[in-house]
Structure 1
Amino acid sequence: MTDHSLHTDAAKSPQIAIIGAGLTGLFTATLLERAFRQASDRALVPQITVFEKSAGVGRLATRYRSDSATKQNWQWAFGAQFFTAKTSSFQQFIAPWLESKLIQPWCAQVVDLNPASVSGQSLDIQQKEQWDTAQARYISTPKMTSWGRALADELAHTTINFKTRIAPLAQYPQSQSDHKTELFDEKGDSLGHFDWVICTAPNAQALELMADSGFTEQAKITEPQMQACYTLMLGWDNVQPLPEALNHQKKPTWDVAYVNDSIIDRIFIEHHKPAHDELLPSVTIHASNDWSEQYVDEDIETVKAQLLQAAKQALDWNENSAPSQVDCHRWRYAATLTETNKEALGILMDQKQQWIVSGDWCGQGNIESCYQMAQQTVEAVCQTT
């Protein structure tokens, strides 16, 4: 990327809209600011506006509850539990937060877990592996939401508008007087005119936003298949005895369990993570994506009851060691089905209208894909602007 590629004919600062303040949106805003900051024309500063339908940033979700007696917390990373950094560019990107310890490697002890069965088979836990720094898994501390908030706080030329839902682009006619796109919220109020519109929503939502808009890559949005995931969050009081599987005087010490022959996929022990040792006993459980997708429209209380029964078999508790805290969350678009040896879709761009559809689902569906799609987006904007 050369400096002169960032100049416009009128030498005007570009107005850029980003739909979604998840990690793809935050990475995109960050890399856009850096690209323009490195340009020879320092006066050419982008005016970036991020529109987010919820009240927070990032997809690294954290939920917590406080014990009224002790003021200690239970805490669950109920979205992505960790992320990897396999490419040198992403490793360089996260380096400052590693240095500050906001991001830390998680060298977890991983086991295979065979649940107790109704037929009398006892709980079985076998050591599987230990994650190490050679192929590190990273977490954000003290909460998984901390990194997203840090990214947002460091943006200098970006405004984030929370609780703002964007109307489908075709819902309101566009002015023919210029090449800018006017965005509207769901109430029909104008949100301004933009040189670029970058949509980072899940593909089902991107499909709705771009429907009948003339977006040239519309058909490709449906190519990646997304699956749901249910998350069960459990907590124990310090005064409670822990279940059999969590009692490390009787069982091997472990942090992550791959669960066999169950609707549960993995179990994560939150209070074993780096900088989490002051938490009350907290466990996050992810159901399998296939099962979650099958029951994605089921009543959440019904789903919670089924997951609780599976968790009871996996962790082997009785009435004295049952969890005191129970919560359940449904992620409708949690995982991207990827085919082996098939090239990732990459960002989808309408060159004429200067619209881009992006997101982790355009890659491998992980957090590093958020960064890679942000890179592709910024390269496309800088080559055209």
Structure 2
Amino acid sequence: MTNHSSQSTDLTSLNIAVIGGGLTGLFTATLLERAFNQGQNQQSSCSPHITIFEKSRSVGRLATRYRTDSSTGKNWQWAFGAQFFTAKTASFQQFIKPWLKTGLLQPWCAQVVTISPVPEDENHNETLINIEHKEQWSTQQPRYISIPKMTAWGRVLADKLAHTTIKFQTRVAPLAQYTRPEVGKQTELFDDTGTSLGWFDWVICTAPNTQAVELIANSTFAQKVDITKPRMLACYTLMLGWDKEQPLPKALNNQPIAGWDVAYVKDSILDRVFIEHQKPSHHELLPSVTIHARNDWSEAHVDDDIDMVKAQLLEAAQQLLHWNQSNAPSQIDCHRWRYAATVIDAHDKDKHEGLGALIDRQHRWIVSGDWCGQGNIESCYQMAQEAVTAIVSY
């Protein structure tokens, strides 16, 4: 068995733990397996062993929620997490090509507008809707979505992993360093009941930074202070649906700008509106609209009663979209994301660059995640790249 270079790690001998089964964790496992396959003898049966520990029941963190109408059998569907992603770097563009070819990932050339609520004293004018054209997303700088749901890509990534075990509903306890002299430095992980999860040569934490702080708090991680530099802001998501035969509110009924798909909201606690049933390959959906609240407003109300928050968001949405009793949404749901947007203090780090993956080579611990970059899906990939590079070149 040969190494990548005289100084690189023999991946076939490694036992690697990845904490978190979001996209950063899945990308990391995928790139680790590829590094092995590219650097080793194809006839060898040896392989590194990777274990992903995920506290929830699913992977990917590209959240989709749906409901089925009993009379039509059709679904309402809401991408209530990330709505889309971009691929600006050549390496990430190359990475997503296989799924573009299969159609799992598709470009979304949305018609984008700006919209603002009509003041109360002007509501008597039924034709007054403040919508202005903003831009048309193009294939030159595309936004991508996963088909048929945003969760689909994460599940496909997980299914393709050949040397990785995913353990769901497993909460990893805060890290401590232990050494087994006969095999060199390793870390023993435990779950939250105190049961050992095994010994690992490398531990990669891909959890949101608030959770990473808890995992690393009592350890000797070399870059512990850097984990607290980015700040995660909350986001509330409102999900609305209309019945098949029900008229849509005027603002959604292709007026006054035909066929808009995305709206940036002005002068409101709301931030963006996404029309789900107009996305590529979503034409079979019942009318479904996802609305994200502003991050600053969400953070200020992050611990409020969820029903009270939903009522405030509904009031703002009604003022924005102009529904009445006849065309009010029949489906209403609300979700709170505690860790949605990444903010880095410009005094600590250039906010356009981010921290990068935090690597402690002495302990063989890595802390990464989209919050180490710009808080988007491409940052998940970039942090996975940095983690894998550190392990392969160790």
TM-score range, shorter chain: over 0.9
The 8 Å contact of residues 6 and 36 in structure 1, kept in 2 or not, is answered as no
Q: Which residue of 2 aligns with 1:214?
A: 220
Three-state SS of the structure 1 residue aligned to 2:246 is coil
C-alpha distance in 2 between matches for 1:6 and 1:66? 52
Instruction: Specify which of 20, 40, 48 is matched with residue 46 of structure 1.
Output: 48
The 8 Å contact of residues 5 and 382 in structure 1, kept in 2 or not, is answered as no
Q: Which residue of 1 aligns with 2:239?
A: 233
Cα displacement string for residues 30-58 of structure 1 (whole angstroms, at most 9, x for unaligned residues) = 00000011113454511000000000001
> Against the structure 1 CA distance between its residues 296 and 41, is the aligned structure 2 distance closer, same or farther, given a 3 Å change threshold?
same
Tell which deviates more after alignment, 244-253 or 210-219. Answer: 244-253
Paired residue type of 1:278: E
Q: Which residue of 1 aligns with 2:250?
A: 244
Instruction: Specify which of 370, 379, 382 is matched with residue 372 of structure 1.
Output: 382
Trace 1:59-74 onto structure 2 (pairs within 5 A).
59-74=61-76
> Against the structure 1 CA distance between its residues 244 and 342, is the aligned structure 2 distance closer, same or farther, given a 3 Å change threshold?
closer
C-alpha distance in 1 between matches for 2:22 and 2:110? 26
Q: Which residue of 1 aligns with 2:293?
A: 287
Unmatched 5+ stretches in structure 2: none
Q: Is residue 373 of structure 2 the alignment partner of residue 363 of structure 1?
A: yes
Instruction: Specify which of 186, 190, 206 is matched with residue 180 of structure 1.
Output: 186
C-alpha distance in 1 between matches for 2:325 and 2:385? 52
Compute the displacement of 1:7 (Å): 4.1
The 8 Å contact of residues 3 and 39 in structure 1, kept in 2 or not, is answered as no
Q: Which residue of 1 aligns with 2:170?
A: 164
Q: TM-score, normalised by structure 2?
A: 0.93
Compute the displacement of 1:5 (Å): 4.6
Tell which deviates more after alignment, 260-269 or 44-53. Answer: 44-53
The 8 Å contact of residues 52 and 166 in structure 2, kept in 1 or not, is answered as yes
Cα displacement string for residues 316-374 of structure 1 (whole angstroms, at most 9, x for unaligned residues) = 00011000000000010001125566532001111111000000000011000000000
Q: TM-score, normalised by structure 1?
A: 0.95
Cα displacement string for residues 164-190 of structure 1 (whole angstroms, at most 9, x for unaligned residues) = 0000114xx735544111100001111
Q: Which residue of 2 aligns with 1:223?
A: 229
Unmatched 5+ stretches in structure 1: none
Instruction: Specify which of 345, 348, 356 is matched with residue 355 of structure 2.
Output: 345
Tell which deviates more after alignment, 141-150 or 122-131. Answer: 122-131
Q: Is residue 125 of structure 2 the alignment partner of residue 139 of structure 1?
A: no
Q: Percent identity?
A: 65
Q: Is residue 106 of structure 2 the alignment partner of residue 100 of structure 1?
A: no
C-alpha distance in 2 between matches for 1:290 and 1:169? 32
Q: Which residue of 2 aligns with 1:57?
A: 59
Three-state SS of the structure 2 residue aligned to 1:334 is strand
Three-state SS of the structure 2 residue aligned to 1:104 is strand
Three-state SS of the structure 1 residue aligned to 2:85 is coil
Compute the displacement of 1:216 (Å): 0.9
Compute the displacement of 1:260 (Å): 0.7
C-alpha distance in 1 between matches for 2:329 and 2:62? 24
Which runs of at least 4 in structure 1 moved beyond 6 Å after TM superposition? none
Three-state SS of the structure 1 residue aligned to 2:310 is helix
The 8 Å contact of residues 9 and 393 in structure 2, kept in 1 or not, is answered as no
Tell which deviates more after alignment, 341-350 or 140-149. Answer: 341-350
Compute the displacement of 1:80 (Å): 0.2
Q: Which residue of 2 aligns with 1:109?
A: 111
C-alpha distance in 1 between matches for 2:357 and 2:211? 15
Tell which deviates more after alignment, 343-352 or 199-208. Answer: 343-352
Superposed CA RMSD: 1.6
The 8 Å contact of residues 178 and 185 in structure 2, kept in 1 or not, is answered as no
Compute the displacement of 1:123 (Å): 2.3
Compute the displacement of 1:120 (Å): 1.6
Paired residue type of 2:140: A
Trace 1:29-40 onto structure 2 (pairs within 5 A).
29-40=29-40
Compute the displacement of 1:249 (Å): 5.7
